Structures are given as structure tokens and as C-alpha cells.
């Protein structure tokens, strides 16, 4: 290790960009959230007024924001466990084989993760189409449906969750797979000699040793679902009847469609605080578990 000025030259560009585009914007967002900034204020700063807590008081009385909060909670509560269970199960299954077939399957399950949300939405909009869509056509063979998928408030949220889970599995599966492959083979050999079957090995060796990966995936997935945006934005615009509106989409609409920057910023600060709280709780649980293990 060398002490000199040169490390600063190496880190300076990246740090400067992060400061300008991540750190400073938080303080700007908090500041704007106490003002009535709108499109008029963008052209002429003197037309921005300090309004104190008005934005926050109004947003908590805003029925649409309440609906967006409810929907986001719904997405998080249903989506997060689904993503974790599905990607963990697939990673364990793929890890059973080493041949070409299994590595091909890895590519197959990863493919939705790397593809563009707009492209994917276009495809699913068609599959979900109530009259000419493929899904209802297939369901008609077993005398189910037709389901209205995206156009009925009672199924719209779940329809979006299906796509988002399908899309999220790949990356998390790879993280689990990398961690599984880091587990020493001897553990399984020893368990085999003791007569443990595959199922017992998964429960007693694989999952306990994946604790950190599961924690990592849980935190990143939670943060991701809190910011659920792309699918409702492209596919439903938050409808029908605001049934798919997420907090993130609410912020975007108020900010960039209604030009109520101050109001939208207040929404974004609330979202940020919610994410900090939930992540903090996760961290607490994680450190508690570590302490218990001594």
C-alpha cells in the first residue's frame, strides 16, 4: 500500500459523478419538497415559494397517493417472496447437473432479466389481450376464463407481478448459483455418508450456508419492488382505476406529466424514507442472527 496523492486521481472522476448525480440530488429533492416548484419555477426561480410542510400534509390526504402506497405494499408483499423462492429453487435445480443442458437452462431462465422492459411489455400486452391473446386462448381449452388480465382491477396487479417475477428470477438465480458453487463439496459428501437424502442436504446444508446471499437478494429485491415502475408505466399507466399505480409511477406522473415538482419531490422523499426503514430492519435482523450464532 502506498501513501500518495495518486489514489485521489483514480477515484476523483467517479466520486465527482456520484456526488453530482446521486448525493447532491437528495438534498435538492428534500429542499424542493418544501416548495411549490412547478414548470413556471423552472424558467424563473423567483416564482418558487417556500410552502413548509404543505406538500407532505397534502400528499397524505391524497387518495391517489394512498392507493399508490397500498399497491406498492401489495407488490412488495407478494412479489418479494415469489422472486426469492423461485430463483432459489431454480438455482438449486440447475446446480444438480453440469452438462450442456443445464447451462443452456441457465441462459433460458436468465433471458427475461436482460431483455428490455418495453419489448417485454409489448409481448405480454399481446399475450394478455382478452380477445386475441394467447393466454386466454390456451385457458379456453380447459374451460377457464376469459380473464380480463390487465383491464380488470382485481387481476391487474397480479398480471404485472407475474411479468416482473418472470423478469427478476434470472439475475437472482445467478447470484444464488454462484454462492451454491462456493459451498465446499465435502459437506455434501459427509452428509451422504451419514445417509442424508437430497432434500435433507438442501435444508440442512445449502440453505443455511446461503444465508448471506438470501439476505443480499432480499434487500436488493425489496428495494427493487419498492421502486416498481417500468411495467405499470408501459403497460397500464397505473390503471384501471389506479389499481396498478405504484408510488414510483405516482412520483413520475406528478413530476413530469403534471409538472408539480415540489409535490412529486415530497413523494420521493417519503419513498426514500420507507426504503431506508425497511432496509434498516433487514440489516437489524441479519446482525441479530449473526449474534445468536455467536
Partner 1 sequence: MQSHKNAQMSFKLFIGILLGVLGVMTFFPFLWMIFSSFKTNAEINQIVPSLLPKEATFDNFKELFFRLNFGTYLKNTLIITACSFLGLLLNAMAGYGFAKFDFKGKNWLFMMVLATMMIPGQVTMIPVYLLLNSVGLTNTLIGIVLPGLAGAFGIFLFRQFMNTISNEMLEAARLDGASEWYIFFKIILPVSRPILAVQGILTFIGGWNSFLWPLIIANDEKYYTLSVGLQLLQGQHGTNYALQMAGATFMVIPILIVFSIFQKYILQGFNVSGIK
Q: Of 124-143, which residues contact partner 1 (CB under 8 A)?
A: 124-127, 129, 131-132, 134, 137
Shortest separation between residue 157's beta carbon and partner 1, angstroms: 19
Among 40, 123, 144, 277, binds partner 1 (CB under 8 A): 123
**Residue 50 DSSP class:** B
Shortest separation between residue 125's beta carbon and partner 1, angstroms: 8
Among 77, 203, 276, 285, binds partner 1 (CB under 8 A): 276
Does residue 4 bind partner 1 (CB under 8 A)?
A: yes
- Contacts with partner 1 in 196-225 (CB under 8 A)? 198, 212-213, 216, 223
Closer of 26 and 77 to partner 1 (Cβ): 26
Place of cell 416548495: 35
- Contacts with partner 1 in 16-55 (CB under 8 A)? 17-18, 20-26, 28-29, 32, 42
Closer of 125 and 148 to partner 1 (Cβ): 125
Interhelix angle 261-292/54-61, rounded to 10 degrees, is 80
- Contacts with partner 1 in 96-115 (CB under 8 A)? 96-97, 101-103, 105-112, 114-115
Contact 33, 262 (CB under 8 A): yes
Long-range pairs of 145-151 with CB within 8 A, sequence gap ≥ 24: 150/125, 150/235, 150/236, 150/240, 150/244, 151/240
Shortest separation between residue 227's beta carbon and partner 1, angstroms: 5
Under 8 Å CB-to-CB from 182, ≥6 apart: which residues?
Answer: none
Closer of 154 and 192 to partner 1 (Cβ): 192
Contact 79, 165 (CB under 8 A): yes
If phi > 0 it is left, if psi is from -120 to 50 it is alpha, else beta; for residue 237 that is left
Closer of 59 and 120 to partner 1 (Cβ): 120
CA 45 to each of CA 6, 32, 38, 50, 51: distance values in angstroms, whole numbers, following the listed order? 41, 12, 10, 12, 15
Among 181, 200, 287, 289, binds partner 1 (CB under 8 A): 181
Among 119, 144, 158, 285, binds partner 1 (CB under 8 A): 119
Amino acid at each position: 500500500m502506498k501513501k500518495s496523492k495518486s489514489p485521489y486521481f483514480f477515484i476523483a472522476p467517479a466520486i465527482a459523478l456520484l456526488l453530482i448525480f446521486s448525493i447532491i440530488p437528495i438534498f435538492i429533492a428534500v429542499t424542493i419538497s418544501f416548495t411549490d416548484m412547478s414548470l413556471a419555477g423552472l424558467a424563473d426561480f423567483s416564482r418558487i415559494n417556500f410552502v413548509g410542510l404543505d406538500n407532505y400534509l397534502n400528499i397524505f390526504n391524497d387518495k391517489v397517493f394512498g392507493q399508490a402506497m397500498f399497491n406498492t405494499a401489495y407488490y412488495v408483499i407478494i412479489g418479494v417472496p415469489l422472486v426469492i423462492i423461485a430463483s432459489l429453487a431454480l438455482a438449486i435445480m440447475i446446480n444438480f447437473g453440469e452438462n450442456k443442458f443445464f447451462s443452456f437452462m441457465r441462459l433460458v431462465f436468465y433471458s427475461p432479466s436482460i431483455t428490455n422492459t418495453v419489448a417485454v411489455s409489448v409481448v405480454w400486452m399481446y399475450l394478455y389481450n382478452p380477445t386475441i391473446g394467447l393466454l386466454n386462448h390456451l385457458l379456453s381449452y380447459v374451460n377457464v376464463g376469459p380473464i380480463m388480465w390487465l383491464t380488470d382491477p382485481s387481476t391487474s396487479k397480479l398480471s404485472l407481478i407475474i411479468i416482473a417475477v418472470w423478469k427478476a428470477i434470472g439475475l437472482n438465480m445467478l447470484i444464488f448459483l454462484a454462492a451454491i458453487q462456493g459451498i465446499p463439496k465435502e459437506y455434501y459428501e459427509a452428509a451422504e455418508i451419514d445417509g442424508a437424502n437430497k432434500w435433507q442436504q438442501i435444508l440442512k446444508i445449502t440453505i443455511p450456508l446461503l444465508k448471506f446471499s438470501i439476505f443480499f437478494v432480499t434487500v436488493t429485491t425489496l428495494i427493487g419492488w419498492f421502486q416498481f415502475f417500468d411495467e405499470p408505466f408501459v403497460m397500464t399507466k397505473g390503471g384501471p382505476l389506479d389499481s396498478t399505480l405504484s408510488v414510483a409511477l405516482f412520483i413520475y406522473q406528478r413530476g413530469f406529466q403534471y409538472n408539480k415538482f415540489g409535490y412529486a419531490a415530497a413523494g420521493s422523499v417519503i419513498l426514500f424514507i420507507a426504503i431506508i426503514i425497511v432496509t434498516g430492519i433487514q440489516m437489524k435482523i441479519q446482525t441479530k442472527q449473526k449474534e445468536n450464532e455467536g
